[in-house]
Amino acid sequence: MITEPRTLPGFMELLPNEQILFEQMKQKIEKVYQKFGFLPLDTPVLELSEVLLAKAGGETEKQIYRFEKGDTDIAMRFDLTVPLAKYVAKNYGNLSFPFRRYQIGKVYRGERAQKGRFREFYQCDIDVIGDGELSIVNDAEIPSVIYQLMKELGFDDFTIRINNRKILNGLFESINQKENATDILRIIDKIDKIGADATEEELQKLGLEQKAINQIMSFISINGTTNEKLEKLQKLNIENDSFKIGLEELIEVVKYIRIFGVPDTNFKVDLTIARGLDYYTGTVYETFLNDYRELGSVCSGGRYENLAEYYTDKKLPGVGISIGLTRLFYKLNELNLIKANKYSMADVLIIPMTQEMEKPIELASQLRSLGISTEVYLNDKKLKAKMKYADKLKIPYVIVIGEDEITSGTVKVKNMETGEEKQSKLIAEEIIDKLK
Amino acid sequence: MITEPRTLPGFMELLPNEQILFEQMKQKIEKVYQKFGFLPLDTPVLELSEVLLAKAGGETEKQIYRFEKGDTDIAMRFDLTVPLAKYVAKNYGNLSFPFRRYQIGKVYRGERAQKGRFREFYQCDIDVIGDGELSIVNDAEIPSVIYQLMKELGFDDFTIRINNRKILNGLFESINQKENATDILRIIDKIDKIGADATEEELQKLGLEQKAINQIMSFISINGTTNEKLEKLQKLNIENDSFKIGLEELIEVVKYIRIFGVPDTNFKVDLTIARGLDYYTGTVYETFLNDYRELGSVCSGGRYENLAEYYTDKKLPGVGISIGLTRLFYKLNELNLIKANKYSMADVLIIPMTQEMEKPIELASQLRSLGISTEVYLNDKKLKAKMKYADKLKIPYVIVIGEDEITSGTVKVKNMETGEEKQSKLIAEEIIDKLK
């Protein structure tokens, strides 16, 4: 009996040529993380529900894949932050702080399936965790990682938007709206989507007086260069400790971001950014492709007071970012925006035209030992079918080895893109020269 | 309330230094697969139970993590072969054959938890799938991939053992034991563990006549060099088609293995190897570290007639291997047998001793742009604590930048292993020379 070979909706499964692009993106991100010395981490996809859901609630909990196996109540991870918190609390005594880790792995959310939304997706995270304290300079290094990352992915016109939650919280305290802070944050976080008028309206609905609304609106409409914005914030003279500390932090972060070599064209202070509602406590980041704002933030994160309060009494402040790679890849691929170094796995396909395999295989081994991915076409087909195979796989170079080539000790290297063919001696070095 | 941060039993979670070794092993395997031009594949961890379990049964099915989410009956993949079968059947029209793919990913089996057994583990697979037919030369390329792989992992004294299931099946047919074939295979597959006497005993228990047992025992005790074994097999003069075809295939495979450059010291014909009981139909492989036979086969696989018969009418013969990386890593690590290129993520730790961060950060950027993973210690600690951090993370080089260094434009590079310190100008190129 034949079962129809289906894949679950909301689960990405790519054809080989797309998978190659995906792997390259993943690897570029990983390489940047590694260059900054972040340590690799791999945690289980499955955790005890009791542990994984120690903090979760509301929307998140509904989306969890959760089940029982024997007597064990198990859940699939829905992000890489909770497993990190568990890991750091569990291994506290064996880790060196600041603990800088990257993790690239699949996470699971049983969301309503729709185009461009995934139930299984890769997150690519970095976090720096301090033991008790963590210098503000770390908050400035993170944007420099984002900057390198975006460059590596082939983007130039992007903006890292930076804010500090303490400034927002201080502002709300100063206008006696502390208890409404979460709601106000949620509203102003949407200003880019809904516009200023709708924002005011929503603030009214929340029951704010016009005076408070005016102060919020004039605050979030502060504009100008980064330095001008910082000056205007100082001139607001808001007498609130949280506001003052937040502003000091933001000034420090901006100062160090520049030292880290991120140009002013690629970052800016954006006072409307708040990110997660109760998680972040200081610096927050979002990153936008300026020509494709509709993609939303492609890389976001921020500073938090306490990573693992649900697992330990130790105070573990941290700062980090996350990239939702699966969705990002899907969108960039749809828009044809992925810049790849190569579109095939093999650099060279060697096509033997006789039963004599020694020369083709020997040449393949030579090429591989020189770092060139090489495939030998081992099956009995007509030349045309073999060439079509190379073409479909987008292999850039083909070397045909027939009677003539074996007798004369030469090979023909064909550039599949230009169609150009060159005869040369059967020496790998020469072929490599051609491949360059 | 504090929840104890636990990890599920049977799920590997490593400390950073071990994780670095694990990642290196994984990457070495991936690099070899890529060098041979295998295409990357990534399939979902979750599949429809109906699809994933179309074939499974018995022991495997009991171990499956399976659950319902809404109305959907879902299962976690327990290997990478069934998802491959589904993928090839589903995407048949969009793939080029032979379809050569590698996949490295986690699979799940709810086995009884015990030391060295894992419920979540990485498999690293390659398979070559033909459309209708697949040349026997592919069966010889696979051992050459294993050979490169083992070399890359730092092993020299290993043996790839090769057999052909048709030879075994033909032998059993020739002594009228076809219906007992599965049982006999299971018994002789264990001969290395239980010895010849116990093997004979088990064959007797199965009800075999002494004559048949003698033939089996003399068959599996064929010895000598590879060529001698092949000659002795021919001289058995067993009049059975399956036996003859199997022997011809084995002779071909041995011939091409040599052409693929695998030395006779690293492979041999082993007539006792049968592998999976009903899956493989031709060539089979196992790979042993000769000094650590107790690890069992570290890399196994073989040829199968039909990959996806449960999903399509198309005949898709294939040949492949799998490495159970998690268990292999665990065992090698336990035996201290892992050869690593590096034991830390960062090659260099830069330690600023003043508030002046420009020089340290600038140097870090320079080093990174030259491919050297560099971390700047960004937190306010005593020098001793910073050095201890470098030491615990096994970072090989430390550069301390204090007042003197900034004024003089020089830096001290300390080799953490030898303790040797060298003063040099603040020029990245010079530091790189030292790092070499």
Q: How confident is the model at residue B57 (pLDDT cuts 50, 70, 90)?
A: low
Helix (H) or strand (E) holding A401: strand A397-401
Residue B256 CA to residue B239 CA, distance in Å, equals: 26
Which of A43, A120, A368 lies at the smallest CB-CB distance from B44? A120
B374 in A contact zone (CB under 8 Å): yes
Give A179→chain B minimum CA distance, Å.
Answer: 24
The answer, yes or no, to whether residue B73 has pLDDT greater than 70, is: yes
Phi-psi region of B207 (alpha: psi -120 to 50; beta: other; left: phi over 0): left
Within-domain flag for A112: yes
- Using CA atoms, how far residue B265 sits from A62, B29, B160, B226, B419, in Å, is 58, 22, 9, 10, 42
Nearest to B87 by CA among B123, B122, B134, B40: B40
Within-domain flag for A55: yes
User: Domain count of chain A?
Assistant: 3
**Contacts of residue B68 in chain A, CB cutoff 8 Å?**
67
pLDDT in tens, A93-126: 999 999 999 999 999 999 887 888 899 999 999 9
* Strand pairing class (B267-269; B158-164): parallel
Instruction: Give me the domain span that covers residue B378.
Output: 348-435
Residue A13 and residue A123 share a domain: yes
- Whether the model pTM is above 0.90: yes
**Contacts of residue A380 in chain B, CB cutoff 8 Å?**
135
Q: Do A40 and B98 touch (CB under 8 A)?
A: no
- Using CA atoms, how far residue B388 sits from A96, A99, B349, in Å, is 9, 14, 11
Residue A300 CA to residue A308 CA, distance in Å, equals: 20
Within-domain flag for B378: yes
pLDDT in tens, B145-190: 999 999 999 999 999 999 999 999 999 999 999 888 888 888 887 8
**Contacts of residue B395 in chain A, CB cutoff 8 Å?**
37
The answer to whether A90 touches B6, Cβ cutoff 8 Å, is: yes
Residue A261 and residue A159 share a domain: yes
| Chain Cα centroid distance, residue A276 | 17
Within-domain flag for B382: yes
Copy the structure tokens of residue B91.
């995407």
**Contacts of residue B50 in chain A, CB cutoff 8 Å?**
3
A391 in B contact zone (CB under 8 Å): no
Give A11→chain B minimum CA distance, Å.
Answer: 6
Nearest to A63 by CA among A11, A103, A120: A120
Residue A193 and residue A270 share a domain: yes
Residue B427 CA to residue A289 CA, distance in Å, equals: 35
Within-domain flag for A145: no
Q: Do A345 and B42 touch (CB under 8 A)?
A: no
Cβ under 8 Å to A: B residues 125-154 = 130, 133-135, 137-138, 141, 148
Give the mean model confidence (pLDDT) for residues A275-304.
91
Average pLDDT, chain B: 92
Within-domain flag for B6: no
The answer, yes or no, to whether residue B374 has pLDDT greater than 70, is: yes
B89 in A contact zone (CB under 8 Å): yes
CATH of the domain at A103: 3.30.930.10
Q: How confident is the model at residue B58 (pLDDT cuts 50, 70, 90)?
A: low
Residue A245 and residue A272 share a domain: yes
* Strand pairing class (A120-129; A99-108): antiparallel
Q: Quick one: pLDDT at residue A1?
A: 81
**Contacts of residue B376 in chain A, CB cutoff 8 Å?**
141
Q: How confident is the model at residue A252 (pLDDT cuts 50, 70, 90)?
A: very high
Long-range contacts of A173-179, Cβ-Cβ distance < 8 Å, separation of 24 or more? A173/A240, A173/A242, A173/A243, A174/A238, A174/A239, A174/A240, A174/A243, A175/A211, A175/A212, A175/A215, A175/A216, A176/A212, A177/A208, A177/A212
Which residues have CB under 8 Å from A129's CB, separation 6+?
Answer: A84, A88, A97, A98, A99, A100, A101, A307, A316, A317, A318
| Chain Cα centroid distance, residue B317 | 22
Residue B356 CA to residue B363 CA, distance in Å, equals: 13
For A196, the 3-state DSSP assignment is helix
**Cβ of B399: how many Cβ atoms within 10 Å?**
24
Which of A108, A137, A373 lies at the smallest CB-CB distance from B357? A137
Q: Do B36 and A365 touch (CB under 8 A)?
A: no
Q: Do B90 and A11 touch (CB under 8 A)?
A: no
Which of B65, B130, B256 lies at the smallest CB-CB distance from A379? B130
CATH of the domain at B384: 3.40.50.800
Within-domain flag for B28: no
Within-domain flag for A331: yes
Copy the structure tokens of residue A17.
């040529």
pLDDT in tens, A299-320: 999 999 999 999 999 999 999 9
Q: Give the E-state strand segments of A275-396 in sequence order.
A: 283-289, 300-304, 318-324, 348-352, 374-376
Residue A184 and residue A125 share a domain: no
